[in-house]
Each structure stands twice: as structure tokens, then as C-alpha cells.
Amino acid sequence: MKAKYGRIVLKLSGEVLAGEKGFGIHPPVIDALAEELRGAHALGGQIGIVIGGGNFIRGVAAAGEGMDRATGDYMGMLASVMNGLAVQDSLEKQGLPTRVLTAFEMREVAEPYIRRRAVRHLEKGRIVIFAGGTGNPYFTTDTAAALRAAEIGAGAVLKATKVDGVYTADPEKDPSATRYDTLTYERVIREGLGFMDQAAIALCMENDLPIVVFDMKVPGNIQRVVAGDPVGTRVNR
């Protein structure tokens, strides 16, 4: 088994790292994720990771509670750095070389994001964790994943979720919902399918970046998606 894509960006939600607790960081979940990534890394492809901060705070939710949206988003970016450091720690315990690059300077804990530096780390076989979103409020980490993937010349964006792909409706609320095997960017935008925000979809479409949406709770799925197995839902032209 070999990597289908020479270079990928894996998008993880912060909520995934909380496990069943629903808040904060659950070390056994991160350790299991690191083991999965070790298998994917062994396939030979280059791996970048973008992690959200929703296990601590989401700017949109904070704004709904009366907090300034920009303030909430900045707090979420800081939360994503904490998540990135936690994942780095677990990956290094698995013997995997990593670097955390942040969208804003935090030199005491991570390197500032510089595109050429990120590419060089990837070329040396290091897993690069892109933390801090885009560094700007009002942009989601989905958009950050699409942006970083375009910047570093990735072959695909892999969006790890809690469901096994994109459905016609929420499968938890509608038992009749069916899963798509493939979708076009245009159909996703036209039908308002909400697995990623519209800005991220448009950026992927503009740069011809395939998106694969899959269930990360299934053991071995990350490795299978990196290998190009037909897992989840694939979005392209």
C-alpha cells in the first residue's frame, strides 16, 4: 500500500480531540489519532494537519452568547495552537518528526508559518501541524485547510468527521438520508451542503483540490484515505 497523494492536508475538528467528554483534550483519543497517523505516514506521502479549536471555544457560538465575534475567533485560534501542541506531543511519542507552524507569532512554542519553510519540513518527512487558523477572524479552519493546501501544493484536502461522508440530510435526524459517493464542487455550493463552509469549497474548486470527507472513528480510515481507497465522499470537478 502506497500513498496516492504526494502531499495532503488533513483537517481535524477540535471536538474530535475531546472524545466523549465533549470539552478539552482527551489524551487517549489523541494517542489513537497519532497511531493512525503513524500508519498513514509510513505510506510515504507528506502530511500537513489543520486542527480547529472547537473543543475549547468557537467564535460563532461565542458571538451568539454576546461576545465580540473577532474576539471569539482569536480565542479559537489560540485554542487550535493548544490542540496542535497536544497532537505534536503524541506524534513525537510515536517517533514521528513534527513541526507546529502558527499563523501568528508564538516563537516560544512554535514556528511562525512561512510557506517555503513548511514545504521544506514536508520534504524532509516531517508532519507539519498548521495551527492558528488563517490568523484572521471571520475565517474558519476549513478555509485555513483549503488555503494551506493550495499554498503548499497539496494533492487533496482530507476532512475527518464523525460520519462516513456527505449525506442528503443529517443522518442522525433523517433515517432516510443517503450518502453521496462523489459530488461536484458546484453541486455542493448549489445545494448548500454544510460539511465545509462555502469559502473553503470555493477555494478548493478554484485550485482544483479534491476533498475527501470520511469517518475518522473507524480504525485505519486515515491510512485508507491517504492510500486512495474509496472511503467516504469525494468532492471534485
> Tens of pLDDT along 129-183?
999 999 999 999 999 999 999 999 999 999 999 899 999 988 888 989 999 999 9
d(CA 161, CA 237): 22
28 — pLDDT class (breaks 50, 70, 90): very high
Residue 183 in grid coordinates: 459530488
Residue 93 in grid coordinates: 511519542
Residue 78, pLDDT score: 96
**Does the structure show a pLDDT above 90 at 126?**
yes
**DSSP strand pairing (233-236 vs 211-215):** antiparallel
**Does the structure show a pLDDT above 90 at 119?**
yes
The answer to whether the beta carbons of residues 49 and 130 sit under 8 Å apart is: yes
Average pLDDT of the segment spanning 65-73 = 93
Q: Note the Cα 197 to chain centre separation in Å.
A: 13
Residue 182, pLDDT score: 97
Question: pTM of the predicted model, to two decimals?
Answer: 0.95
The answer to whether the beta carbons of residues 190 and 199 sit under 8 Å apart is: no
**Does the structure show a pLDDT above 90 at 48?**
yes
d(CA 158, CA 65): 31
CA-angle at 87, arms to 164 and 131, nearest 5°: 90
CATH superfamily of 7-236: Acetylglutamate kinase-like (3.40.1160.10)
